[in-house]
Amino acid sequence: MTSFSYNLGLALGPLLGALLFEKIGISGLLKIYSITALVVGIIRWLFLEETLKAKEVDPKHIRINLDRKKTLTFIGGSFFFLSLSLTINGPYISLFQKEILNYSQKEINLVFTQMGIACAIASLIFGKMADHMDSAKAWAVTSLLHPLLLLGWVMIKGSLILLVGSAIFAEMAYIAYPIFVSSIFEESIRAKGLGMFGFVTGSIGSLSPLLLNIFEGQNLNIPFILATIFGLMSFSVIIKLGGDRNEHKQK
């Protein structure tokens, strides 16, 4: 449901942009964004309640020991985010549509709207499926299928089915990986472990665009080829962590 809500917003935002861009321009859209962000912030402040109470924790039990499973998770997660920074977290999908497919700004926004709606629906379906799946294997497979389908979209030059399918697999990976990552940390250090995972993988993932400087001036297929290579490396590491799905359930 959380992913559904996010993706519904990601679908309606570009749709609103496509409808209003010619009338109010970028500055008008930025004003709408600012007002929306302010309203959301006020709603969170006034109405959201913290339902989990803080616990006293023995300092001896808050240290993270990087065993083999955690180390492989960090490595696989780093490859995963290296891939994502060249796909849905980067500008290259929009750039490809503009430079290669010659789409207008409105057409690009409508494509992202369709991707967002598809991901919103897929979130509800996969959210139920995830309770009956091995989260590590689900993460591994979707982390590879996402860039692979996206590369197919690039090679065919504009197959909407492949692009939407790629976005759906990315969303599935986004649902699967927190389930698995949180399961490898004890409850007393789960938040700290997730924070450390986010810091390490996010920092390494942000390096992907720098690698493109090596291929400066070459065609726009390069980011998607690199993303697929990183996706394959992510898959090869994470798939080793899969096993009995009951092993990865929340403790």
Q: Residue 72 maps to which CATH number? A: 1.20.1250.20
Buried b (16+ CB within 10 A) or exposed e, 147-170: bbbbbbbbeeeeeeebbbbbbbbb
Indicate whether this model's pTM tops 0.75. Answer: yes
d(CA 208, CA 78): 11
Q: Cα(85)–Cα(195) distance, rounded to whole angstroms?
A: 19
One pLDDT digit (tens) per residue for the chain, 251 residues: 888 888 788 788 878 877 777 777 777 878 887 888 888 889 888 888 777 666 665 555 566 777 889 999 999 999 999 999 999 988 899 999 998 999 988 888 889 989 989 999 988 888 888 778 899 999 999 999 999 999 999 999 878 999 999 999 999 999 999 999 988 888 778 888 888 899 999 889 888 877 777 766 567 889 999 999 999 999 999 999 976 554 444 44
Q: Give CA–CA dist 215/222, Å, rounded.
A: 8
Question: How many separate domains does the chain show?
Answer: 1
Domain enclosing residue 153, as ranges: 2-55+63-248
Maximum pairwise Cα distance, the chain = 60
